[in-house]
């Protein structure tokens, strides 16, 4: 559908954004569902954020995604925050209800929805998460809200893992979820914790192009009965996923998370169900049989 005088604006703000799948995904979904919307990417850095939010509000944009480096900054412009966004103090999706902005963080929700779609149920399970950056924080918060049994966070910078643990501790205590935070350099402890984990998630940027020969963990350290998730989606199949494939392990890939975080955002804006199978096939070129 070509834009008309009535077309609602949606978008993405952050920088860099040239590589984003979001415009292709959402515009395809609008077209498929015959929704009168148009999604554009607006390259925005921290200095421009205030003006960009004011402009989007003025133009009556219905909603927008927020990516690096604005996910924390945007919180200051939101009137309300969803539970997971409040827990981590970060937002990747904004809904604009006539000038009232509500912030959500759909990365973690998208991650666990993709897990569920792949028959990986995490309630009462032990999760080992590598990373404490933006995406890891969203996944960690959602892991607590999904009532996992234990969440063990390893990060290169221990302070960031400890900070994340602290941010989640009250909610985790309320729900009886155990959380530990450890330094990635403690390989002995990592090996031991992996043996006791049901799901291992790489939420660091290690393995991302152009360093796509790297894996955050060695083959010998990956147990034989664990589910391996890598949220990195460039390249399509990471070194870690290749190792997991060789070991015949169940894999959750980064594209699945991209797809589902977008599906949740789309639903928040339009209340419509995202055409997941079609987007997989036509935007991500994933063969869905």
Catalytic site includes residue 71? yes
Site string for ligand NAP, 178-217 (x = CB under 6 A): ------x------------------xxxx-x---------
In the complex, the smallest distance separating the C-beta of residue 37 from ligand NAP, rounded to whole angstroms, is 21
Instruction: Check residue 227 for interaction with ligand NAP (CB under 6 A).
Output: no
Name, in order, each residue with C-beta under 8 angstroms of 81's C-beta and a sequence gap of 6 or more.
75, 91, 102, 103, 104
Which stretch, 37-45, 151-159, 171-179, 272-280, contacts ligand NAP (CB under 6 A)? 151-159
The region of 27-35, 80-88, 97-105, 228-236 touching ligand NAP under the rule CB under 6 A is: 228-236
CB of 25 to ligand NAP, least distance (A): 11
**In this chain, which of 52, 152, 215, 261 binds ligand NAP, going by CB under 6 A?**
261
Active-site residue, from 4, 46, 57, 71: 71
CB of 54 to ligand NAP, least distance (A): 26
Does residue 155 interact with ligand NAP by CB under 6 A? yes
Q: Which of 23, 133, 223, 235 binds ligand NAP (CB under 6 A)?
A: 133
**Which residue is nearest to ligand NAP, using beta carbons?**
133
CA distance 262 to 260: 5
User: Positive or negative, the Cα torsion across 259, 94, 12, 214?
Assistant: negative
Binding interface with ligand NAP (CB under 6 A): 68, 107, 131-136, 155-157, 160, 184, 203-206, 208, 231-233, 254, 257-258, 261
């Amino acid at each position: 559908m070509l834009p008309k005088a009535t077309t609602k604006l949606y978008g993405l703000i952050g920088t860099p954004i040239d590589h984003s799948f979001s415009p292709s995904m959402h515009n395809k979904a609008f077209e498929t569902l015959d929704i009168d919307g148009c999604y554009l990417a607006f390259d925005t850095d921290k200095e421009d954020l205030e003006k960009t939010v004011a402009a989007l509000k003025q133009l009556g944009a219905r909603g927008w995604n927020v990516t690096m480096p604005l996910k924390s900054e945007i919180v200051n412009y939101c009137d309300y925050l969803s539970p997971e966004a409040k827990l981590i103090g970060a937002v990747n999706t904004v809904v604009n209800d006539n000038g009232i902005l509500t912030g959500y963080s759909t990365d973690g929700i998208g991650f666990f929805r993709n897990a569920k779609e792949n028959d990986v149920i995490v309630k009462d399970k032990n999760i080992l998460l590598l990373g404490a950056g933006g995406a890891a924080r969203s996944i960690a918060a959602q892991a607590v809200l999904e009532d996992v049994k234990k969440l063990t966070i390893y990060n290169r910078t221990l302070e960031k893992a400890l900070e994340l643990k602290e941010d989640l501790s009250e909610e985790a205590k309320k729900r009886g979820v155990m959380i530990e935070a450890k330094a990635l350099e403690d390989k002995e402890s990592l090996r031991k914790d992996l043996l006791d984990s049901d799901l291992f998630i790489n939420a660091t940027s290690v393995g991302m192009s152009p360093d796509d020969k790297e894996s955050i963990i060695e083959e010998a350290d990956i147990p034989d009965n664990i589910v391996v998730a890598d949220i990195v989606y460039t390249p399509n199949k990471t070194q870690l996923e290749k190792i997991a494939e060789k070991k015949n392990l169940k894999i959750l890939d980064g594209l699945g998370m991209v797809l589902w975080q977008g599906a949740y955002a789309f639903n928040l804006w339009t209340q419509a169900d995202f055409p997941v199978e079609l987007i997989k096939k036509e935007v991500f070129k994933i063969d869905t049989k």
